[in-house]
Amino acid sequence: MNSNNPFISASEAVQCIQSGNRVFLHGSAATPVTLIEAMQNRHEELKNVELVSITNLGDIDFNKPEYRKSFFFNSLFVSANTRAVANSRDGDYVPIFLSEIPQLFRKSILPIDVALVQVSPPDVHGYCSLGTSVDIARSAVDTAKIVVAQVNPNMPRTHGEGFLHTSKINALVWDESSLPEVDYSQKVSSSVEKIGLHVASLIEDGACLQMGIGVIPDQVLKNLGNHKNLGLHTEMLSDGVIPLLEKGAINNSRKKLNIGRSVTGFMVGTRKLYDFVHDNPSIRVMDIGYVNDASNIRKNPRATAINSAIEIDLTGQVCADSIGTYQFSGIGGQMDFMRGASLSENGKPIIALPSVTSKGISRIVPFLKEGAGVVTTRGHVHWVVTEFGIVDLFGKNLKQRAKALIHIAHPDHRETLEKAFHSRFKS
């Protein structure tokens, strides 16, 4: 690396990738689009390159026929721009808890040849930051044989475990592209608004929050402005936390772990969020093996985990990652936090979902679709929320669970569910 001008072009930087390599792609808002496109441009000379990643954002296409001949996408969490290839002969999905993905790299179960990441510019001491996504990237850069970094002044410098010295980076590429943005605060349906109110009613002062991805968690946050002494220990965060942090509703004063600090593994939001976390010592962005470790989650009292589902059956089994056999997303951190919250003193694991899909199909069903994956078992489910109410399944038998879930199903589907109940339980 030339000390006077350490930066090279993206096309030069990805020359280190060889046929047969396993390549890690940094994810979410940190997706290194420029490096990925440069790698894809080498598709004619590369064969059998395995790509591993969680969620990817940005204007990249992994589904072009010419790329499929060169790259196999082994997804650890399926996202919109990898869904088609992950469900094809040229890709696949690894069912795994988000907390355990770092072990795949550290234990050489999936050893990384090349890690493509996006970082902040180096500080005066030569340290870059993994910025918006430390999550599984920490273990990837620690174990990869070669690290290639897209250095972007738009990437925030975040505190926590994301610092990476330039001496550990084999190639640096300067890039000033805007980070991908996702705005969860758009106009939402009345049913989502009701769900937000219901979930907020379950959250006590002093609760330590974990928020999943999407409009429902953001809607919940909008209803917490009058709460006091909330904490934040979450796998991801978005813009919705900013007003609560600014007004002191979230102050992390009641936590037992990282007192006074908000903890996350990654963040996805708008530029406002990325500017808010830049060099902000009150936000710690950490290795996901630490953040999502149930033994850490449970240390904070009143841990409250809010996650969603694709469908839930009458016994409480939650499918959150597939539509039948079609892999839609992944296990992610839902079970990490559902279990951690249930073990926390006065904790609350919550599944919140609209009662029907956008096409009016019930999400509360007699049986999960054939081939559907159970992400959260019926033994782990406690609170379930729809726009029609709140139920607590903990300690309830199968018949009681079914009756409770029918009560919060959409009225248009309750008769069908009642018939399924009587058919199954002969009562």
Pairing between β-strand 283-285 and β-strand 348-352 as defined by DSSP bridges: unpaired
Looking at residue 186, its pLDDT comes to 78
204 labelled catalytic: no
Percent of the chain with pLDDT over 90: 96
Distance CA 102, CA 107 (A): 8
d(C-alpha 425, C-alpha 174), whole Å: 64
d(CA 414, CA 405): 10
Mean pLDDT of 28-45: 97
pLDDT above 60 for 407 = yes
pLDDT band for 426, please (50, 70, 90 cuts): confident
At 275, which helix (H) or strand (E)?
A: helix 271-277
Residue 413 has pLDDT above 90, yes or no: yes
Q: How far apart are CA 119 and CA 357, in angstroms?
A: 38
Evaluate if pTM is beyond 0.85. Answer: yes
Of 12, 45, 176, 235, catalytic: 235
Burial class (CB in 10 A: 0-12, 13-18, 19+), 426: exposed
For the record, the structure tokens of 212 come out as 């999943």
Edge-first strand order for the sheet with 348-352 is: 159-160, 283-285, 262-267, 231-237, 208-211, 303-307, 348-352, 383-386, 389-392
CA distances, 32 to each of 53, 105, 230 (Å)? 12, 20, 34
- Residue 214 confidence (pLDDT): 83
- Return the DSSP state at 8: -
> What confidence tens digit (pLDDT) does each residue in 78-127 have?
999 999 999 999 999 999 999 999 999 999 999 999 999 999 999 999 99
Determine the pLDDT at residue 276. Answer: 98
Quick one: pLDDT band at residue 213, thresholds 50, 70, 90? confident
Residue 2 confidence (pLDDT) above 80 = no
The answer to whether 177 and 152 have CB atoms below 8 angstroms apart is yes
Q: Which residue has the tokens 């937000």?
A: 196
pLDDT of residue 3: 58
360 is written with which tokens? 């009016």
- 284 touches 263 (CB < 8 A): yes
* Predicted confidence band of residue 51 (pLDDT cuts 50, 70, 90): very high
Residue-wise pLDDT tens digits, 318-372: 999 999 999 999 999 999 999 999 999 999 999 999 999 999 999 999 999 999 9
The Cα 180–Cα 178 span in angstroms is: 6
